[in-house]
């Protein structure tokens, strides 16, 4: 089985700092891959590199057997990879519905079709009630949801979620977990960054752990939990502690 | 009712010359309509797409000189400048866009400002083509009467209004606004931001260029200091939209009525005529502080202020 996404030896330097060094992993169709690591481990940088915002300094990335590491973000999105932002970026002075219509226009030129897709997506993510709210006035939890809705409306085969659970209250958290399961059922592959360990252990099929820009573990949630390297990265060196 | 407002207004304006108004008033109305066209075109780029240009005089001037040079060097009617300016201004817009559109926000604004100045200096010095500071004079006017000029600019304005309305209601408009609100988000949603910004720039430039070509025909004389003027063209284009209302359909129209009348009004005050730029400056400050979205944009706020003024 060929992987949907293949990251091969990717490094990214900012000046002298290696934000990512030699990261390699694969992602298969239908999986939920969790990406974890302590603060500053390079998780968001990895997303930005996969998504095309930063070209990798070294290495290559393939998506659906096409090399995407030299493409611009909009072309990668057109190929079927959508993302959300950790720091939410709603189109502030547009309504929620218009926000989603913008992304639905990617696969169609007609206003009716775009609106239809947008309304479906809003129902799917539970934002339909808020459709006429200007997105500037939306509370954070709903804005994170809007990020997801917008990414989904582009009709992706794979979606990158960057901390879509951070800052949510328990009710919103459960709703969002439900949405992610629904996304998986609809056949979309998911890669997710999350700090909330309980959530990530529960929903991920596989977890990749980054620390100081390097991949230190790659396995099932059970394997990851028991991996001494991961424990050390999070809790510090046991011998010296 | 509201849907037919543009049509009703067009009908009324089309009948205006039949009433028989004097030449000076006609001149003012023509100027108002010409500035509405420039305002609407600026609004497309600066208001909807969020790319604030301080160099629209560049496109106005290129349009004006296209008409002027066709007449002066090729001995054909300056009216050919209207279609020809579409080609030339698009060319210029592509070059300017290639250089400036990779910059964002204030850097884009500064780059366009520089472009306007560069083109003025170029026009002053390429005297074999532009006659330099002497300017180009259209020696035989097409019509002595202003009626036909009026109808031509009215037609251009109507087409521009229709075009802006169509564009903003379509996918293109959604993409423009998305780019204005957040360029990175737009890019991640699959929008080729460079392409759509270039489209916005070209549309805006071409319309301004046509207004420039009309200006040459109407005024009968152009020189670099007039048509490439920073303070009289570029800044006024911004002010019209700011005063009238950014990213609204009627804002540029309202803005140009106010600005043209204000300019004419102040100029006619004895000993104070040259000070109209100072007044514009003060007006701009007042507008930015009290009505940041312009008259159309802050409509509810304005009504509140007026009502508050009436009740003691």
Q: How many Cβ atoms sit within 10 Å of the Cβ of residue B110?
A: 14
pLDDT above 90 for B306? no
Query: Per-domain residue ranges for chain B?
Result: 22-229
Cβ of residue B66 closer than 8 Å to a chain A Cβ: no
Given this model, what pLDDT does residue B16 score? 84
Q: Strands of chain A (E only): list them.
A: 5-14, 17-27, 32-36, 58-63, 66-67, 81-83, 158-162, 189-193, 206-211, 214-219
On chain A, the residues whose CB falls within 8 A of the CB of B192 are 72, 74-75
Disruptive mutation site among B188, B196, B198, B246 for chain A (greatest number of A CBs within 10 Å): B188
- SS3 for B124? helix
Q: Which CATH superfamily is domain A1-80+158-172+186-241 in?
A: P-loop containing nucleotide triphosphate hydrolases (3.40.50.300)
Mean pLDDT of A145-167: 91
List A160's β-bridge partners, or say none: A83, A191
Q: Which residue of B has its CA nearest to A152?
A: B189
CA distance B69 to B73: 5
A186 confidence band (pLDDT: 50, 70, 90): very high
For the entire predicted model, the pTM comes to 0.90
Sheet holding A17-27, edge to edge: A17-27, A5-14, A58-63, A66-67
Distance from CA of B192 to the nearest CA of A (A): 6
* pLDDT (0 to 100) of residue A140: 86
Mutate to test the interface with A, among B186, B190, B195 (most CBs of A within 10 A): B190
Q: Quickly state the pLDDT bin for B308 (edges 50, 70, 90).
A: low
Q: What percent of chain A has pLDDT over 70?
A: 98
pLDDT category at B312 given cuts 50, 70, 90 is very low
| Tokens found for residue A235 | 């809790």
Find the range with the poorest average confidence among B2-11, B208-217, B263-272, B303-312.
B303-312
Rounded (5°) CA angle A54-A180-A182? 130
Mean pLDDT score of chain A, rounded to an integer? 90
pLDDT at position A154? 93
Q: How confident is the model at residue A239 (pLDDT cuts 50, 70, 90)?
A: low
Per-residue pLDDT, B283? 84
Nearest beta carbon to residue B181 from set A83, A91, A101: A91
| Distance between B162 CA and the closest CA of chain A, angstroms | 18
Cβ contacts from A onto B, under 8 A: 74
For A95-147, what is each residue's pLDDT tens digit? 999 999 999 999 988 999 999 999 999 999 989 998 899 988 888 888 999 99
**Is the pLDDT reported for residue A165 higher than 80?**
yes
Residue B217 is predicted with a pLDDT of 92
Mean pLDDT for the stretch of residues B54-61: 93
- Residue B286: pLDDT band (50, 70, 90) is confident
With a cut of 0.90, is the ipTM above it?
no
Stretch B59-81: mean pLDDT: 91
Nearest chain A Cα distance for residue B284, angstroms = 23
Per-residue pLDDT averaged across B55-72, rounded? 93
Residue whose C-alpha is closest to residue B201's, from B8, B18, B45, B42? B45
Chain B contacts in chain A segment 73-112 (CB below 8 A): 73-75, 77-78, 82-83, 85, 89-94, 98, 101-103, 105-106, 109, 111
Domain coordinates in residue numbering, chain A: 1-80+158-172+186-241, 89-155
B181 phi and psi, to 5 degrees?
A: -75, -40
């Amino acid at each position: 089985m060929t992987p949907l996404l293949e990251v091969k030896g990717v490094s990214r330097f900012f000046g002298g700092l290696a934000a990512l060094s030699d990261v390699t992993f694969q992602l298969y169709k239908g999986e939920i891959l969790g990406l974890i690591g302590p603060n500053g481990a390079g998780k968001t940088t990895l997303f930005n590199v996969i998504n095309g915002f930063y070209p990798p300094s070294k290495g290559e990335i393939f998506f659906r057997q096409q090399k995407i590491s030299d493409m611009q973000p909009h072309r990668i999105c057109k190929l079927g990879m959508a993302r959300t932002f950790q720091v939410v970026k709603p189109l502030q002075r547009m309504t929620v519905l218009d926000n989603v219509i913008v992304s639905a226009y990617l696969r169609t030129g007609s206003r009716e079709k775009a609106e239809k897709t947008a309304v479906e997506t809003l129902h799917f993510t539970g934002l339909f009630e808020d459709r006429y709210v200007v997105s500037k006035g939306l509370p954070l939890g709903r804005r994170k949801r809007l990020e997801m809705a917008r990414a989904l409306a582009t009709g992706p085969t794979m979606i990158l979620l960057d901390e879509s659970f951070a800052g949510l209250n328990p009710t919103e958290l459960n709703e969002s977990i439900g949405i992610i399961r629904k996304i998986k059922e609809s056949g979309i592959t998911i890669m997710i960054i999350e700090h909330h360990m309980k959530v990530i252990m529960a929903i991920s099929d596989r977890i990749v752990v980054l620390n100081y820009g390097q991949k230190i573990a790659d396995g099932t949630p059970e394997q990851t939990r028991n991996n001494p390297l991961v424990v050390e990265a999070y809790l510090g060196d046991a011998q010296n502690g | 009712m509201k849907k037919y407002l543009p049509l009703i207004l067009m009908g009324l304006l089309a009948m205006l010359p039949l009433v028989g108004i004097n030449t000076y008033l006609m001149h003012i109305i023509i100027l108002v309509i010409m500035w509405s066209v420039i305002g609407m075109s600026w609004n497309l780029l600066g208001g909807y797409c969020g790319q604030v240009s301080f160099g629209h005089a560049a496109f106005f001037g290129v349009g004006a000189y296209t008409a002027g040079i066709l007449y002066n060097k090729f001995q054909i009617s300056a009216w050919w400048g209207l279609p020809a300016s579409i080609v030339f201004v698009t060319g210029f817009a592509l070059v300017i866009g290639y250089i400036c559109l990779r910059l964002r926000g204030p850097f884009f604004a500064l780059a366009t400002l520089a472009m306007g100045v560069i083109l003025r200096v170029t026009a002053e010095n390429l005297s074999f083509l532009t006659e330099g500071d002497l300017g180009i004079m259209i020696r035989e006017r097409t019509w002595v009467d202003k009626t036909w000029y009026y109808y031509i600019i009215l037609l251009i304005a109507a087409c521009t209004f229709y075009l802006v309305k169509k564009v903003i209601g379509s996918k293109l408009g959604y993409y423009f606004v998305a780019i204005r609100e957040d360029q990175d988000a737009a890019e991640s949603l699959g929008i080729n931001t460079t392409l759509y910004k270039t489209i916005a720039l070209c549309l805006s430039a071409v319309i301004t260029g046509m207004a420039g070509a009309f200006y040459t025909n109407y005024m009968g004389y152009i020189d670099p200091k007039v048509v490439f003027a920073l303070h009289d063209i570029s800044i006024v284009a911004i002010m019209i939209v700011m005063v009238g209302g950014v990213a609204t359909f009627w804002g540029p129209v309202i803005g140009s009525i106010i600005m043209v009348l204000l300019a004419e009004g102040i100029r006619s005050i004895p000993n104070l005529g040259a000070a109209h730029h100072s007044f514009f400056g003060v007006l701009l400050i007042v507008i930015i502080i009290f009505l940041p979205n312009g008259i159309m944009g802050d409509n509810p706020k304005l009504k509140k202020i007026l009502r508050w003024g009436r009740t003691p």
